[in-house]
Every structure is written in C-alpha cells, then in structure tokens.
Amino acid sequence: MDQPWPIRLTHWLNVVFLTLLVGSGLRIFNAHPTLYLGETSDPAEAVWSGGGFPTFLTVGGWLAGARRWHLALIWWFVVNGLCYVAFLVASGEAKRRFFRPQDRHGVLPMVRYYLRLGPKPAYEGYNALQKLTYTLLVLLGAPLLVLTGLALSPAFDAHFPWYVALFGGRQSARTWHFALMAGFVLFSVLHVGLVAAAGWPTLRAMLVGTQRSEGGRDA
C-alpha cells in the first residue's frame, strides 16, 4: 500500500517525539514513582507504587531538565499531529484509515482471525480492526494524553481548577496520563511487531512510499 510522503514524514517525526516524551516523562515519574486517585497524594489512595524506571530509559538527566524536555516536545508533538490529521482530511486519506459505521461488521471477524479462531476476512486496504484501533488512538488517545498532561501544570491548576476536577483531581489526572502513556508504548510495540510480521514490503512502504511486488516492480 502506497504511503504519501507527508504521512511518512509525520510518522517518523512522531516516533522521535514520542520516544523523547516517554523518556522525559519516566524521569519525571521517577521523582515520585507512585500513582494516586483524587486530589492529594494520600498513601491510602495509592493505586500503584514501584521503584521507578531504569535510568537508561529516561531523558533529561534530572527532574528540572526532564520537565524542560517534556514541555518543549509536547508542542512539537501536537503540531505534528495536527499536520498529520489535516493532511488525512485534505487528501481524502481519512476515508480509508479512519473507522466508519459501516466498518463495525468487520471487527469481530478480524478479532477471530487474529486469535486463530476463524478464516481471514476479505477486505481492501486497512481492515476494520486496524481502522478502529487507529481512530481510537489518533482521535481519542492522543488528545486525552495531551489534555491530562495539561491538567498537571501547577499554573493551569491555579487558574482553572474546574478543568483539573474534570479528571477527578490532579493526582487522578497524573494516573490517567501515565496509563495513556503506557497504552501508547504497548500500541507501538504491537505495531512494530505486526509490521515485522508482515515483512519487508510493508516497512519499505513507510520508508520510501511504495511496496515492491514479488517480481521486483513497485506495487
């Protein structure tokens, strides 16, 4: 499947931005590796507590440095995402990538296929499960990741306490933010695994824009 250059460019920029955002976010998290629900860090409200993440997985060197990386990179991530969605809509690519009501009938057959419980359904382009996952990630997961992160800003909290309350309090927003980050990491691992399983032609399409057929010609 051909991949236009704006999609390839924003895709690989996203890889860089997300890698650095996750690394700096883990460094910030390591300063207090415990998650809570509610407004305050009450040990009775803790939902998860650990020893933190290895230093080699983090970015920023120290807490203040990690915060600077995180705050600077998030705006590049947002701008890159907006450019990506704008291109999809303007070019018509959104129609073949985003989930639509008529795709709902193809979700369960694809789930059964991936679980080796049924035959591979016939489809063109992206299958229904891919579209559903993609749509949830781009139109729901990414915005929520940014919005929960915004709720963690002390200045934003001071000026708009009602906004932070939408997520159940600052500590709840932090927990949601961490969970969404973990979801992005899990998706990325699965995504890379599926691309590798699909073979070199699929990866080649994301590198140079086209897949090459078995005969050696561009498909």
Average pLDDT of the chain is 88
Convert the pLDDT of each residue in 160-180 to its tens digit. 999 999 999 999 999 999 999
What's the pLDDT at 156?
Answer: 86
Burial environment of residue 152 by CB neighbours within 10 A (0 to 12, 13 to 18, 19 or more): middle
pLDDT score for 50 = 84
Residue 189 is predicted with a pLDDT of: 84
Tell me the pTM: 0.86
Residue recorded with tokens 């701008």: 79
Confidence check: pLDDT of 213 > 80: no
Alpha-carbon span 32 to 215, nearest angstrom: 56
Average pLDDT over residues 44-48: 88
Q: Write out the H or E segment, with its range, that includes residue 46.
A: strand 46-49
- pLDDT tops 90 at residue 132: yes
pLDDT of the residue at 44: 81
Q: For residue 125, name the pLDDT band (cuts at 50, 70, 90).
A: confident
Of the listed ranges 29-33, 49-53, 72-76, the one predicted with least confidence: 49-53
For the cut 70, the answer to whether the pLDDT of residue 93 exceeds it is: yes
pLDDT for position 215: 44
Instruction: Give the per-residue pLDDT at 214.
Output: 44
Confidence of residue 126 (pLDDT cuts 50, 70, 90): confident
Measured CA to CA, the distance from residue 116 to residue 112 in angstroms comes to: 6
Per-residue pLDDT, 209: 67
Q: For residue 86, give both structure tokens.
A: 């704008």
Decide which of 129 and 203 is more confident. 129
